[in-house]
Amino acid sequence: MRSAFLNKPNEILLEDIEIPEPKFGEVRVRLSKVGICGSDVHLFLGHRLLANPTIFGHEGLGFIDKIGEGVSNRSVGERVAIEPNIPCRKCQYCMSGRGNICTNKRVIGLTEAGCFAEYITLPADFAWKIPDEISDEDAVVLEPTAVAVHALFSTKTKPGDTIAVIGLGAIGLLLTHLSLSLGYRVFVSELNAAKLKIATDLGASPLTPDGGTLDAQAKFLEENWVNNNVSAVFECAGSAHTASLATAAAPRGSEIVLVGLSGNLATFTPLKIAREGIQIVPSIIYDHPFDFARALQLIRSKIIRPSLIISSYASLENLQSALELAATGNESKIVVNITA
């Protein structure tokens, strides 16, 4: 099968390797489309190093083409989306309902072979059957949609409340779209004009500081957020600066939801957080199986249409250039066509 390995930072190597066989409890999926995630870009750029050349990518869509022993109620030909984070379901975190922070979880495209290939094998429970009424375009972005669903539902906010989103990458845009569709009022901060337009066309209100120091930016945002009763601030940009900005500007009594994944040190003032009753809420991936199921139902019910974030398509043969384009930050979501 044709496979794309991240050979080293900034270098994709296309190779033909043996088609994998499903083990007990697994299915094999012939992949058709795969989304490029921001974490794929970070791996490509070398911000996080893999121990060995690895087939990466994890936002997969395809069809079951072989079923392993021990699998029931699945059929060859089923259209499925890949849930790439597979908790062990045995550790203390999994047993307490926190499988999203499982220390033993398998991660497709990181700890094992990923989706930038023609085939993949995985446990049957993590290949989600896609209803016929959901398009391929919506289905291929199911995984990041589940991330947005998890983030929104991890807060105390309710439809009708006002929230703020910092950073309009794929997750920020999906979170904005989901929130607006459920009846929230949403303020968005983003430097990229094209991404900001997508959000404002959906109905979000733009509110981006115009340069200045961190303190000046925080003062501008806090005054506006307080005046508009913002109850939760979602940091989706994934930078130390925006994480520091979110904690500095969050209104009294609000929640700060850390969705972005910056590996650099951010700063905050403990006195402000404690005195003003601000809660910092971590939001990492999603809970199995609930968030994928919720995301599927929201799409199936036509409440959300996550495909609106797709900005361009590429072929597997052109993955190198697609990743280079994604690294510019000007694309909201690139989808790689694996097979027709």
* pLDDT tens profile 127-165: 999 999 999 999 999 999 999 999 999 999 999 999 999
Domain that holds residue 316: 2-143+286-337
Question: Is residue 150 included in any domain, yes or no?
Answer: no
* pLDDT tens profile 276-320: 999 999 999 999 999 999 999 999 999 999 999 999 999 999 999
Query: Mean pLDDT throughout 101-120?
Result: 96
DSSP 61-122: EEEEEEE-TT--S--TT-EEEE--EE--S-SHHHHTT-GGG-TT-EEBTTTB--SSBSEEEE
Statement to judge: residues 247 and 160 lie in one domain = yes
Query: Mean pLDDT throughout 87-111?
Result: 94
Question: Is residue 148 included in any domain, yes or no?
Answer: no
Statement to judge: residues 92 and 135 lie in one domain = yes
* pLDDT tens profile 3-34: 999 999 999 999 999 999 999 999 999 999 99
Query: Mean pLDDT throughout 239-261?
Result: 96
* pLDDT tens profile 60-78: 999 999 999 999 999 999 9
Statement to judge: residues 76 and 120 lie in one domain = yes
The reported pTM is 0.96
Statement to judge: residues 327 and 227 lie in one domain = no
Q: How many domains does the structure of the chain reveal?
A: 2
- At residue 321, the pLDDT reads 97
Asked if the model's pLDDT at residue 122 lies above 70, the reply is: yes
CA dihedral (293, 297, 303, 308) positive or negative: positive
> Cα-flanking dihedrals φ and ψ of residue 87, to 5°?
-70, 155
* pLDDT tens profile 33-55: 999 999 999 999 998 878 889 99
Which domain-ending residue is among 282, 297, 317? 282
Statement to judge: residues 26 and 133 lie in one domain = yes
- At residue 49, the pLDDT reads 79
Statement to judge: residues 38 and 90 lie in one domain = yes
Which domain-ending residue is among 249, 264, 282? 282
- Residue 340 pLDDT grade (very low, low, confident, very high; cuts 50, 70, 90): low
For residue 124, give the CATH number of its domain. 3.90.180.10
CA atoms of 172 and 150, how far apart (whole Å): 13
- Residue 251 pLDDT grade (very low, low, confident, very high; cuts 50, 70, 90): very high
